[in-house]
Amino acid sequence: MQSSTFRHSHAAHCESGVMSSLLRHHGLEISEPMAFGLGSALVFVHLPWVKMGGVPLTAYRMLPGSIIKGLQKSLGVRMEVRRYRSPEASMQDLDRLLAEGAVVGMQSSVYWLPYFPPDMRFHFNAHNLIVYGKDGDEYLISDPVFEHPQRCRGEDLAKARFVKGPFAPKGVVYFPRSVPKQVALEPAIVGAIKKTANRMIKAPIPFLGVRGIRLMANGVEQLPRKHSDLRYPRTFVGSIVRMQEEIGTGGAGFRFMFASFLQEAADITGRSALAEASVLMTDAGDSWREFALGAARLYKQQDAADFPRLANLLRVCADKEERVYRMLLQAV
C-alpha cells in the first residue's frame, strides 16, 4: 500500500523539507526556503551554562517542531499531531493511516535508521521524515536528506521512533487535516520577516540573536586565558563547528536558506529591498563558512591556536547579520 501521487523531494533540511513536501502533496506549492522562512525558524542561541557533551549549547535555528507550528499560523494549515505510549500502538496506527492513503510526517532518531551510512549516524532524536507507504514489512520512506526514497523495516523504524534522551520522539506523527487551496503570501511573508528580524536584533537577553553571536565571540576569545591546556578550548570550537555544519543544515546553511526565502519573497511582493537583503545574507553565510573553516583547522591543530582571530570572524558574522535584519525591518 502506498500513495500513488506522492513525490519524493531532496531537501537541505529535514523539517522544512518534510513540511514543503507534505503541503505540495496536498496541493499548496510551497518551496523549502519559503517553508523555512514562513516558519520563522532562523535564530541564534548560545547558552554557556547549558552543556552538551561538556561544552555550551549553541543553536542556529528554533526548536524542533517550530516550522510545523509556524506554518500552521502563517498559512492557516491545520495539522493533526499524534503521540503514543508504546511502539506497538504507534505502528498499528501508522498502518491504519497508510491504509487510508495518508502521507505521514514523523520524528525519529538518526542513529537507529539503518539506511543512514554508519559514518552519518549520531544520536540526534529530532530528525523528520515522511512515510508514504508500506511493502510487506518495509515502510517506504521519503527522507529529505537523501536523493532517493528509502526503505526501512518496521522493527527498525519503531526503535528509531521511541528512543530516549533529548528531544525524544515519543512516536510522534503529523499530517495535514486541512490545507487552504490559496494563501495570501505577502502578509504571511511580512509577518514572518518581522518576527525573525525582531528576535535577532531586539531580544532583551544577551544570549539570543546577534547579541548571542557576540557573546560567543567573547567566550571564544577568552578561552586560552581561562585554560592553560588547549584541549578544552579546541573541543569548544570543534563543538561550535559540529553544531554549525553537521547538525541538520547548520548555521551557514540556514543563512543561505533564509537568503533564498528573501529572494523568493522579493519576487512575490515586488519589494526590491528584500532582494538586496538576500545578497547580504548570502554574504553573512559565507562569513560563517569562513569561521567554520578556521575553527576546524584550529581543532585539528592544522593552524596556530589564534582564538582572537576566530572571535573577530564571529563578530563580522554578527555585524553582517545585524545589517540584514535592520534593512528588513525598514523594508516591511
* pLDDT tens-digit readout, 249-278: 556 789 999 999 999 999 999 999 999 999
DSSP 271-324: -HHHHHHHHHHHHHHHHHHHHHHHHHHHHTTSS---HHHHHHHHHHHHHHHHHH
* pLDDT tens-digit readout, 204-260: 999 999 999 999 999 999 988 888 778 888 888 887 877 665 555 556 789 999 999
The total of other beta-carbon atoms located within 10 Å of residue 100's CB is 8
pTM: 0.91
The total of other beta-carbon atoms located within 10 Å of residue 74's CB is 21
List the chain domain ranges. 14-30+78-178, 185-331
Of 150, 156, 15, 31, which Cα lies nearest the Cα of 87? Answer: 156
137 or 249, higher pLDDT: 137
| Nearest-angstrom CA–CA distance, 226 and 312 | 18
| Nearest-angstrom CA–CA distance, 276 and 266 | 9
Please check whether the domain covering 14-30+78-178 is classified as CATH 1.10.760.10.
Answer: no
* pLDDT tens-digit readout, 155-189: 999 999 999 988 889 999 999 999 998 899 999 99
Q: Which residues contact 102 (CB under 8 A, 6 or more apart)?
A: 3, 175
* pLDDT tens-digit readout, 69-116: 999 999 999 999 999 999 999 999 999 999 999 999 999 998 999 999
DSSP 15-73: HHHHHHHHHHHTT----HHHHHHHTT-EEEEEEEEEEETTEEEEEEEPPTTHHHHHHHH
Of 7, 152, 175, 34, which Cα lies nearest the Cα of 106? Answer: 175
Instruction: Return the pLDDT at 227.
Output: 81
Identify the burial level of 71 via C-beta atoms within 10 angstroms of its C-beta, where 0-12 means exposed, 13-18 middle and 19 or more buried: buried
